[in-house]
Amino acid sequence: MDEIYRNLAIGLVLLIVLAPLGLLAVGETYGEWGSDEIKEKLGFVPQGLAGLSGIWNAPMPDYAFPGDEGNESMTLSAAAYILSAIIGVVACGGLMYFAGKKVTKD
Amino acid sequence: MMFNVPIPGGSTGHAVGGAIIGIVLGPWAAVIALSVALVLQAVMFGDGGITTIAANCFNMGVVIPFVGYYTYKFISGNTDITSSRRGIASAIAGWLSLSVAAGFAGFEFGIQPILHHDANGLPLYMPYPLSVTVPAMVFEHAFGFSILEALVTALIFAYIQRTDSSLLYGEKSEAQKNKIKNTAPVRG
């Protein structure tokens, strides 16, 4: 049983360390444009989108430290990416663990 | 998603990993696992977005694990859990599932300007029609990101196959159990 966890942990740590590789990519995914990007493309921001854009503010938008997204050094961005990955793993794992416990108990 | 990769043309995209999750956990458990991840990404990191959670969970959380798992199962047939045919099956499952999901997403983009526009015909959300969005999504995935997804899926599959194939969902089927019994060394 321990070996299973060790092998899976190796994979997980590897993925966390490699996460900042995503920073090398420039440009936005098709259809994932923000208001700024869509304004550049069309010359205007569609009304419905503009109305929805303030509905939620993520604590770490774009996997960066809040406040200065896009203006950070590469080292800081990489650190933020790794921190995001760790937060994601802990939140995801924790949520599944406790939900699983609750479900099996019921 | 987090691992963005560039393609020629200045756009980026990402793998999802939904096929391998479907293969390891089985498609139904994968729906839950992927949905939890997608909701967390939207809430914590503003990736995907609150208003698109349902669409994302359908495309990546339902379409991908089901297409992925059944493609893998269909190609694997009755081969041994450690056979290399299963590795190839997992790669094809990764490629096909992401390409199909991209087609769904492209379709959902493309019906936006038909469903949602103001009195002057200006789009309220997505501005591009089906004739633009479906080819854009399908082609950039089929010839780009899905190939990466196939490689990642096969890599993780081979790793699990080699380290502990009992983790794989398919291992729990009766046929596989019998096979293991029959091939297990007889102790006497």
pLDDT value of residue B171: 60
Spans in chain A with pLDDT lower than 50: none
Asked whether residue B8 carries a pLDDT value surpassing 60, the answer given is: no
Q: Is A70 on the interface with B (CB under 8 A)?
A: no
Residue with the bigger pLDDT between B177 and B152: it is B152
CA angle A34, A29, A8 (to 5 degrees): 115
pLDDT value of residue A28: 81
Structure-token match 């990416």, residue found: A81
Is there a contact between B164 and A3 if contact means CB atoms under 8 Å apart?
Answer: yes
Asked whether residue B184 carries a pLDDT value surpassing 70, the answer given is: no
Beta strands in B8-125 (DSSP E): 11-14
B44, B50, B118: residue with CB nearest A47: B118
Distance from the A106 Cα atom to the nearest Cα atom in chain B, whole angstroms: 18
Q: How far is A25 from A62, CA to CA, in rounded Å?
A: 13
pLDDT value of residue B10: 56
Distance from the A7 Cα atom to the nearest Cα atom in chain B, whole angstroms: 7
CA dihedral B60, B62, B66, B67 (to 10 degrees): -40
- Please count the residue pairs, one from chain A and one from chain B, whose beta carbons lie less than 8 angstroms apart: 116
Give the mean model confidence (pLDDT) for residues B52-59.
93
Q: Is A59 on the interface with B (CB under 8 A)?
A: yes
Is there a contact between B159 and A11 if contact means CB atoms under 8 Å apart?
Answer: yes
Q: Which of A54, A18, A50, A20 is nearest to A36 (CA)?
A: A50
**Backbone conformation region of residue B77, classed left if phi is above 0, alpha if psi is from -120 to 50, else beta:** left
Task: Enumerate residues 8 to 37 of chain A having a beta carbon within 8 A of any beta carbon in chain B.
Answer: 11, 18-19, 21-22, 24-32
Is there a contact between B127 and A46 if contact means CB atoms under 8 Å apart?
Answer: yes
Q: Which of chain B's residues have a Cβ under 8 Å away from the Cβ of A45?
A: none
The band of B11, judged by pLDDT with boundaries at 50, 70 and 90, is low
Cα separation values, A51 from A66, B71, B110, Å = 22, 41, 20
Q: Which of chain B's residues have a Cβ under 8 Å away from the Cβ of A24?
A: 6
Where do the domains of chain B lie, and which CATH numbers do they carry? Answer: 11-166 (1.10.1760.20)
pLDDT value of residue B188: 46
The band of B22, judged by pLDDT with boundaries at 50, 70 and 90, is very high
B42, B44, B167: residue with CB nearest A91: B44
ipTM of the complex in this document: 0.85
Tokens representing residue A52 in the block: 């929805």
Tokens representing residue B56 in the block: 């994302």
Cα separation values, A15 from A12, A72, A83, A88, Å = 5, 22, 12, 12
Is there a contact between A28 and B12 if contact means CB atoms under 8 Å apart?
Answer: yes
A7, A61, A92: residue with CB nearest B45: A61
pLDDT value of residue B111: 94
What end-to-end distance do the CA atoms of chain A give, in Å?
A: 25
Asked whether residue B175 carries a pLDDT value surpassing 80, the answer given is: no
Asked whether residue B173 carries a pLDDT value surpassing 50, the answer given is: yes
pLDDT 10s digits, B60-98: 999 999 999 999 999 999 888 889 999 999 999 999 999
Is there a contact between A92 and B37 if contact means CB atoms under 8 Å apart?
Answer: yes
Q: Which of B79, B61, B72 is nearest to B23 (CA)?
A: B72
- From A2, which residue of chain B is nearest by alpha-carbon distance? B164
pLDDT value of residue B6: 66
- A87 burial (CB, 10 Å; 0-12 / 13-18 / 19+) is middle
